[in-house]
Amino acid sequence: MASELCKTISVARLEKHKNLFLNYRNLHHFPLELLKDEGLQYLERLYMKRNSLTTLPENLAQKLPNLVELYLHSNNIVVVPEAIGSLVKLQCLDLSDNALEIVCPEIGRLRALRHLRLANNQLQFLPPDLGRSRELQYVYVDNNVHLKGLPSYLYNKVIGCSGCGAPVQVSEVKLLSFSSGQLTVFLPAEVKAIGTERDCILPLQELAMRSLHRACHRFLKDLNFLSPISLPRSLLELLQCPLGHCHRCSEPMFTIVYPKLFPLRETPMAGLHQGTTTVSFVAYCCSTRCLQTFDLLS
């Protein structure tokens, strides 16, 4: 089987195939042959459905830079590496039927992405900026029973969310959450605090991060513009990739968000979800002012 797999990949490399089918191969690891030398520079569609993969390589974008479609349905993937955000041409990503608990924020950087399938996983939340791109039109998160909130950026997209928000017992939850009525929504792990309408001022750390971000914005492509003595590298990396942007004014947020819940409203697929989901849209705002003035239709 291993020799047959290597032969299939070698032929695809030699003949500059655009499509490669590796479904039902009982793969437990991403094939090293795919990442050999310069990789498969001409490959546009990779099918790896129904294997036993648990993760993806960090150099995926480097070795397969022209991927347009990536199908990973029915594996055992727990973590998607941050490097996936470098697949700049990716238009379709299928991670349905895996073991995902977290979706890395870098997926929100895929500006060409049109179809995202995350159904039948263990997701508790989605990245706040997911759906910010106008290109993303179809998002399917059906049967993620822990998922009770969709970022408001997904409003007016084609959403599949049947079976989400089911009343299940979640033991030893370490994520921050907030409640509205009978609905409790978990927030991304990067969020350190939850703001409310009663807050008068932002925490000092958050103010400092936002000020640094504004001051250094034009230098952020190069993390070495300041020495580690001036600013620790960990803070530089945080400055480059905030946890999200305000859904009202696009201000970057680093440690605190002001969440606001909206009941599921009409979307292009709303009629399919009546009585099948308790999920709601969640706006992530940067301040009490934005929290009070934000509306899905504004």
Kindly report the CATH number assigned to the domain that includes residue 44: 3.80.10.10
Looking at residue 29, what is its pLDDT?
93
Is residue 195 in some structural domain?
A: no
Mean pLDDT of 76-97: 94
Of 117, 164, 165, which Cα lies nearest the Cα of 139? 117
Q: pTM to 2 decimals?
A: 0.88
Looking at residue 18, what is its pLDDT?
96
Question: How many angstroms separate the first and last alpha carbons of the chain?
Answer: 56
Dump the DSSP string for 205-218: HHHHHHHHHHHHGG
Please indicate, yes or no, whether residues 150 and 261 belong to a single structural domain of this protein.
Answer: no
Q: Which residue has the higher pLDDT, 122 or 37?
A: 122
In the chain, pLDDT over 70 holds for what percent of residues?
A: 87
Mean pLDDT of 16-31: 95
Tens-digit pLDDT profile for residues 195-212: 988 888 899 989 988 988
Looking at residue 208, what is its pLDDT?
87
Q: Which of 135, 161, 187 is the last residue of a domain?
A: 161
Mean pLDDT of 172-187: 76
Please indicate, yes or no, whether residues 157 and 237 belong to a single structural domain of this protein.
Answer: no
Domain of 254 in residue numbering reads as 201-210+232-289
Please indicate, yes or no, whether residues 141 and 242 belong to a single structural domain of this protein.
Answer: no
Please indicate, yes or no, whether residues 236 and 113 belong to a single structural domain of this protein.
Answer: no
Please indicate, yes or no, whether residues 155 and 248 belong to a single structural domain of this protein.
Answer: no
Mean pLDDT of 45-58: 95
Is residue 14 in some structural domain?
A: yes
Three-state SS letters, 24-48: CCCCCCCCHHHHCCCCCCCCCEEEC
Q: Which of 161, 186, 221 is the last residue of a domain?
A: 161
Is residue 243 in some structural domain?
A: yes
Please indicate, yes or no, whether residues 19 and 134 belong to a single structural domain of this protein.
Answer: yes
| Highest mean pLDDT out of 112-121, 184-193, 213-222, 224-233 | 112-121
Neighbouring CB atoms inside 10 A of 201's CB total: 9
How far is it, in rounded angstroms, from Cα 100 to Cα 77?
A: 6
Please indicate, yes or no, whether residues 28 and 103 belong to a single structural domain of this protein.
Answer: yes
If one counts the domains in the chain, the total is 2
Please indicate, yes or no, whether residues 13 and 105 belong to a single structural domain of this protein.
Answer: yes
Looking at residue 87, what is its pLDDT?
96
Please indicate, yes or no, whether residues 138 and 205 belong to a single structural domain of this protein.
Answer: no
- Residue 189 banded pLDDT, cuts 50, 70, 90: confident
Is residue 296 in some structural domain?
A: no
Please indicate, yes or no, whether residues 152 and 206 belong to a single structural domain of this protein.
Answer: no
Tens-digit pLDDT profile for residues 241-267: 788 899 999 999 998 999 999 888 767
Looking at residue 242, what is its pLDDT?
85
Is residue 44 in some structural domain?
A: yes
Share the mean pLDDT of the chain: 87
How far is it, in rounded angstroms, from Cα 143 to Cα 60?
A: 28
- Residue 221 banded pLDDT, cuts 50, 70, 90: low
Is residue 248 in some structural domain?
A: yes
How far is it, in rounded angstroms, from Cα 199 to Cα 187?
A: 19
Please indicate, yes or no, whether residues 131 and 278 belong to a single structural domain of this protein.
Answer: no
- Residue 69 banded pLDDT, cuts 50, 70, 90: very high
Of 194, 222, 181, 155, which Cα lies nearest the Cα of 291? 194
- Residue 175 banded pLDDT, cuts 50, 70, 90: confident
Looking at residue 270, what is its pLDDT?
66
Tens-digit pLDDT profile for residues 122-141: 998 899 999 999 999 999 99
Looking at residue 207, what is its pLDDT?
92
Is residue 283 in some structural domain?
A: yes
Please indicate, yes or no, whether residues 68 and 116 belong to a single structural domain of this protein.
Answer: yes
In the chain, pLDDT over 90 holds for what percent of residues?
A: 56
- Residue 88 banded pLDDT, cuts 50, 70, 90: very high
Is residue 238 in some structural domain?
A: yes
Looking at residue 21, what is its pLDDT?
97
